[in-house]
Amino acid sequence: MIAEFAGVRASGYPGRDFVIEPAKDIKGILHIAGIDSPGFVSAPAIALYAIEMLREMGLELREKRGWNPLRAPKPHFRDMPHSERMEAAARDSAYGRVVCRCEEVTEGEVIDAVRGVIPALSYDAVKRRTWLGTGRCQGAFDYPRVIEILAAELGIPVTEVTKRGGKSRFIFRATKEVDNE
C-alpha cells in the first residue's frame, strides 16, 4: 500500500493559492505558502520572484562563491561491497545491526537519518531517507525497532513517536495501562 505522495511544497492556505508576500510585522521575512499544484513546476519561477521581492524589501543579497548545491549521496549499506560493510560495522557497531531485513537498512543508517542536516523526526521521514519499510513486509518487521531508535535519538517517550508528524502516533499507552473491564 502506498500511503500518499510526499510532495515538497508549501501548502496549507485554504482558499488562497500562491501566497508570496512580505510579513506585515517583521522586516526581512517573506512568506511563500499555499503553493499547491503545480508546486514543483513553478518552484524555479517562484525562487526568482522571491529574490526580486527580497531586494525590493531592502535586503542585500550576495551570491555565495564556491557553493555546491549538490550533496554527494550517502551509500546505502545494501549497495556496499562486503568489505565496505565489514569496515562500516567495525567503525560503528550500529551498522552491524540490520533493522529492516527486506531493504537491508541498518540501525546506523536510521541514526544517520535522524541526526542529518534535515533531521528525520518521524517514521515516514526515516523511510524516505533510507527506504526501510518499503520491502515485502511493508515495515511490519522494522517499525517497532525504528520507534525505539527514534525515541532514544529524539529523547522522547515511544508514545510521542509519530508515523508522519502531528497526531499520527503508533503507541498511545502500554497495554498494562488498559483497565480490565
Interval 64-120: pLDDT, tens? 899 888 878 888 999 999 999 999 999 999 999 999 999 999 999 999 999 998 899
Residue that the C-alpha cell 537519518 belongs to: 113
The number of residues making up the chain comes to 181
Q: Could you tell me if 107 and 152 lie in one domain? A: yes
Residue 173 resides in a domain: no
Query: Which residue in 164, 161, 166, 168 sits closest to 146, CA to CA?
Result: 161
Residue 143 resides in a domain: yes
Residue 92 resides in a domain: yes
Interval 123-168: pLDDT, tens? 999 999 999 999 998 988 999 999 999 999 999 999 999 999 988 9
CA 2 to CA 101: how far, in whole Å? 19
Residue 168 resides in a domain: no
Q: Could you tell me if 105 and 147 lie in one domain? A: yes
Residue 181 resides in a domain: no
Cα within 13 Å of Cα(95), Cβ side:
17
- Domain hosting 15: range is 1-62
Greater pLDDT, 135 or 4:
135
Number of domain units in the chain = 2
Helix axes 107-114, 143-154, angle to 10 degrees: 40
Q: Could you tell me if 54 and 109 lie in one domain? A: no
> What pLDDT does residue 9 have?
56
Q: What is the mean pLDDT of residues 56-69?
A: 88
Q: Could you tell me if 39 and 4 lie in one domain? A: yes
